[in-house]
Amino acid sequence: MRRTTAISALAGGAALWLAKRAIGRRIDAGSPLWPLPALETPVSGYSPRRWIPALIVSREEPAQGVLSLVLESPELPEWTPGAHVDVQLPSGLVRQYSLCGDPSAKGRYTIAVRLVEDGRGGSREAHAQLVEGAELPVRPPRNRFPLEPADSYAFVAGGIGITPILPMLRAADARGASWTLLYGGRSRASMPFLAELASYGDRVTIAAQDESGLPDLARLSAPAPGTLVYCCGPAPLMAAVQAAVPESVPVHLERFAPATGSADARPFTVELQRSGRLVEVAAEESALTAVRRELPNTPYSCEQGFCGTCQHQVLSGAVDHRDTLLTDGEREDSMLLCVSRAATDHLVLDL
């Protein structure tokens, strides 16, 4: 089969589980996408939970509906292509954005935000309130979409999905690797970073829908031996790429939305063992929503299965995991309440 790469003080069993999770993250080098740092104070000295105040030194609009921000702080850690950061918007909302600048630029991050009018409000707030001279707190970068060494790459990006791909093709070019990029979007006016991409000549193919329709993925059906495929963009594009690429070729995916999991969403119950409460989760709501009715202080952030804030230990029951974050080991005894559901009628959580 194709390999797709897609706290407060605790006591007793909860503390033991936290130690197990931390050790597992410290020793598991095979985690595919965005690996979270193993411990609250990793070897680098940068806590993954620590907010770093960064200054917005530049604000540009590289395309219609796209905001590009350059952030600076001497405390910003190093990063590698494919990494993303959490940012805290003025309202307190936390959102995740891929780093699209130059990893060699010490103390400087670049992010790009696509305005989504019918989204959950984060992009609208970013476009309206993030200005030059403002402070923007960020957390240290995480990378579960790393660029693996190869002699040849086929990059595919759709819309704002170009952001994690851009540092990758720069790195591939610096290594002397062979690579191509297929970059699709609604129109050239809406596609950021076209000027830089033009400097790479015929290695880059621009597929604007208002000019040529959907991207032609036929080139992916017979890649050169040893080619790695990297794709970031809307779910239909990633599904089409997976269908076009031979089964023997590894496909690395970066999702901007959670995987859908199984199609059915049925009600189930959640027993909160430490609280002594029983919660009914309706088919149309998340476990997080239901749990927060009983425990309003239950922490959460992205609500998309990316950040791990709502990860909790599962003491009993089977889980339908729908996140893009947890490792196989973590899925054995925990879940993300915001997106994952019960595969049985009843779950018991350590809450």
Tokens of 6: 């897609």
Verdict on whether the full-model pTM lies above 0.75: no
DSSP E strands: which ranges in 43-187? 52-63, 66-72, 84-88, 94-98, 108-114, 135-138, 152-158, 178-185
The stretch 180-207 carries a mean pLDDT of 97
Report the Cα 339 to chain-centroid distance in Å.
14
Listed residue (220, 315, 215, 324) closest to 274, CA to CA: 315
Amino acid residing at 130? L
Amino acid residing at 42? P
Percent of the chain residues past pLDDT 70, beyond the cut: 83
pLDDT band at 8 (very low <50, low <70, confident <90, very high): very low
Give 319's strand partners.
342
Tokens of 267: 């009600």
- 13/212 Cα distance (integer angstroms): 58
Tokens of 117: 């009018």
Position 49 scores a pLDDT of 64
- 310/335 Cα distance (integer angstroms): 8
Q: How many helices (H) and strands (E) does the chain have?
A: 8, 18
Position 302 scores a pLDDT of 77
Encode pLDDT of 319-336 as tens digits: 999 987 788 888 999 999
Tokens of 72: 């600076």
pLDDT band at 207 (very low <50, low <70, confident <90, very high): very high
Question: How far from each other are the two terminal CA atoms of the chain, in whole angstroms?
Answer: 38
Q: Which domains does the chain have, with CATH numbers?
A: 52-138 (2.40.30.10), 152-254 (3.40.50.80), 268-349 (3.10.20.30)
Average pLDDT, the chain: 86
Listed residue (18, 11, 76, 12) closest to 50, CA to CA: 76
Position 257 scores a pLDDT of 57
Position 27 scores a pLDDT of 35
Percent of the chain residues past pLDDT 90, beyond the cut: 71
Q: Is residue 249 within 8 Å of residue 227, measured between CB atoms?
A: yes
Q: Is residue 155 within 8 Å of residue 220, measured between CB atoms?
A: no
Position 306 scores a pLDDT of 74
| pLDDT score of 155 more than 70 | yes
- 51/139 Cα distance (integer angstroms): 5
pLDDT band at 255 (very low <50, low <70, confident <90, very high): confident
| pLDDT score of 259 more than 60 | no
User: Collapsing DSSP states into helix, strand and coil, what is residue 147?
Assistant: coil
Tokens of 192: 């950021």
The residue with greater pLDDT, 262 or 119, is 119
Listed residue (59, 66, 102, 68) closest to 83, CA to CA: 102
> Comparing 98-112, 157-171, 273-287, 301-315, which segment has the lowest mean pLDDT?
301-315
- 349/314 Cα distance (integer angstroms): 5
pLDDT band at 113 (very low <50, low <70, confident <90, very high): very high
Please state whether beta strands 204-208 and 178-185 pair in parallel, antiparallel, or not at all (unpaired): parallel
| pLDDT score of 343 more than 60 | yes
User: Which residue blocks in the chain are alpha helix, DSSP H?
Assistant: 12-27, 122-129, 162-175, 194-198, 209-212, 235-244, 287-294, 328-331
Position 144 scores a pLDDT of 84
Position 201 scores a pLDDT of 97
pLDDT band at 160 (very low <50, low <70, confident <90, very high): very high
| pLDDT score of 230 more than 60 | yes
Tokens of 31: 């985690």
Tokens of 186: 């609604």
The residue with greater pLDDT, 136 or 303, is 136
- 148/33 Cα distance (integer angstroms): 12
**Neighbour tally for 104: CB within 10 Å:** 9
Encode pLDDT of 17-69 as tens digits: 444 444 444 333 333 333 333 333 333 345 566 899 999 999 999 999 999 99
pLDDT band at 2 (very low <50, low <70, confident <90, very high): low
The stretch 282-299 carries a mean pLDDT of 94
Work out the angle at residue 106's Cα, subtended by the Cα atoms of residues 100 and 108, and round it to the nearest 5 degrees: 45
Which phi-psi region, left, alpha or beta, contains residue 134 (left: φ > 0; alpha: ψ -120 to 50)? beta
Give 95's strand partners.
87
